[in-house]
Amino acid sequence: MHAKTPAAVAGHDRTSRTEDLRARFAAMRATTRALAAPLSAEDAMVQSMDDASPAKWHLAHTTWFFERFILAGDAQYRPFDPAWDYLFNSYYNSVGPMHARPRRGLLSRPSLEQVRAYREHVEARLQQRLRAHALDHAALDILELGIQHEQQHQELLLTDIRHALWSNPLQPAYREDLPGTRAGASPLRWIAREEQIVEIGAASWPAVKDFAYDNESPRHRALVPAHALASRPVSNAEFQAFIDDGGYRTPAPWLSDGWATVQARGWQRPLYWHQDGVREFTLGGWRERDPDAPACGLSLFEADAFARWAGARLPTEAEWEQAATGLAVDGNFIETDALHPQSVPAAETGFAQLFGDVWEWTGSAYLPYPGFAPWPGALGEYNGKFMNAQWVLRGGSCATARNHIRASYRNFFPSDARWQFAGVRLAKDLT
C-alpha cells in the first residue's frame, strides 16, 4: 500500500504531514462525538434492519480500526479489551472472525459508556504517538484512511439512526432544532455535451498526495457519447407527479426485479414519505415536505423507474464525473447542519447540487476500472470484494463531510437500498 509515499511525491516531510493529520484526526473525532451526543444509550444500541448498524457499533468499530491497524503494530501496546477485536471487526476476514452483522443490535454489552471510554483510550494513545512523531509514513497512510473511514461512518450513523427512529412507533426526532428553511425553486434545464474522450478516476494513492480510495483508480480514458444532463436533481414535486400518474401501480417503467420488489414489499412512495402526501420523516422528525428540494430515500429501482417515466435515463458515472470535474466541492454537507436536502435559489445557473444534498444514482454497475488493483493486505478488503450486484452513486449528500467528497468518489449500494440520502439526476441521449 505504500510503495511510494505521498510525502516523497509532494515534497512534504513527515513532521508537517503528522501535524496536518493530527489536527484533522482531532476535528473528525470531535464531529463524531457531536453527532452521537443527542442519542441515549437505548437509541445507540438499536438495529432496525440487517443493513443498518447501531450507533454504538459505529462508534466502536471506527475506533477498532485505529487500534487494529495502527496501535496494534506497536509491540508495547495492549488492546483495550482483546474480546472486542471480534465484536467490532466489520468484514476483514484476513484479520480474524467477526460478530455477525445482522446481530449487532444484540450487543447490550459493552455499554455506551464503555464504548466512549474505548474511544477516549484509543484517541489518547494515538495522539500521544502523533505528538511524538512516532508514526512512519506507512502508519500515516493508514491514519489518513482511518479518518476517511470514520467520515463514512458518520454518515451511516445518521442514516441508520434515522431509520431506527422512523421504525419506532413514536417516530421521535433525532434533533428537534434542525432547520426547515426553503430557498425556492430552480427550473430544470438540460446541459448538453458532444461526444468526447475524457479522463476519469483518480491517480493511485498513496503514490500521490491527494487521497482517493482504491476503487477510484486507476485514472483512465473513457468514451462519453453525446448526451445531456439535467441541471439539478429531481425534486419532490416532480417525483410526486410520478406517483400521481400511477408510477407505483403500473409495471411499465420498472425493471423486472424492481417491479417484483414493489409488489413484494408494498412500495407506494419513497421510504420516508407519509401517506398524507404532505410530510416526510427527517432527522428533525416529521416535517412538511419541501416540493422544490431534491427527492431522497430512493432506491436504484425507483430512480430508474422515474427516469423511464420521464422519458430519460440515469447518467453513467463517466457522464457524471465529466460534469463534476473542475467544479468546486460546495453545497449542503454535514457542516451545514441542516441534515436534510435543501432546494436551491431560482437564479442558479449551470449545474446545481452536483455535490451535497443527495447521492445521485447512476446507471453504472459497481465494477473495477481497467487495471484496478486493490490495496495489498487486509485493507484490500475495503472496496474490491464488494464489486458485485451493486450500483454506483456520485456526489455526496447532506450527511457527507465536505472534505470527504470529490469528483472521482464512487459510493455503491444494491438496487433495493433506499434508506440513504439518495436521489436522482436525469440524463438523456443526443442523437
Mean per-residue pLDDT, 396-402: 98
Mean per-residue pLDDT, 357-376: 97
- Torsion angle (degrees, nearest 10) of CA 210, 152, 386, 99: 130
Q: Would you say residue 348 has pLDDT above 80? A: no
Mean per-residue pLDDT, 76-100: 95
Structure confidence at residue 75 (pLDDT): 87
Structure confidence at residue 1 (pLDDT): 53
Per-residue pLDDT band for 347 (boundaries 50, 70, 90) equals: low
Please state, for a pLDDT cut of 70, what percent of the chain lies above it: 97
Nine-digit cell string for 31: 464531529
Q: State the DSSP code for 336.
A: G
Structure confidence at residue 94 (pLDDT): 93
Q: Is 304 helix (H, G, I), strand (E, B) or coil?
A: helix
394, 411 Cβ separation under 8 angstroms:
yes
Mean per-residue pLDDT, 302-330: 97
- Higher-scoring residue by pLDDT: 182, 391: 391
Per-residue pLDDT band for 2 (boundaries 50, 70, 90) equals: very low
Structure confidence at residue 4 (pLDDT): 45
Q: State the DSSP code for 338.
A: -
Mean per-residue pLDDT, 276-299: 97
Structure confidence at residue 400 (pLDDT): 98
Q: What is the mean pLDDT of the chain?
A: 95
Mean per-residue pLDDT, 121-146: 97
Q: Would you say residue 9 has pLDDT above 70? A: no
Structure confidence at residue 6 (pLDDT): 44
Mean per-residue pLDDT, 46-61: 98
Structure confidence at residue 11 (pLDDT): 43
Structure confidence at residue 185 (pLDDT): 82
Query: Angle at CA 364, nearest 5°, toward 426 and 266?
Result: 70
Query: What is the spatial distance between Cα 422 and Cα 298, in angstroms, rounded to a whole number?
Result: 6
Mean per-residue pLDDT, 55-67: 98
Q: Would you say residue 102 has pLDDT above 90? A: yes
Comparing 141-150, 291-300, 343-352, the range with the smallest average pLDDT is 343-352
Q: State the DSSP code for 191.
A: E
- 413 — phi, psi (to 5°)? -150, 160
Nine-digit cell string for 127: 495522539
* Predicted TM-score (pTM) of this structure: 0.95
Q: Would you say residue 315 has pLDDT above 90? A: yes
Q: State the DSSP code for 284.
A: T
User: Number of helices (H) and strands (E), helices first, in the chain?
Assistant: 11, 11
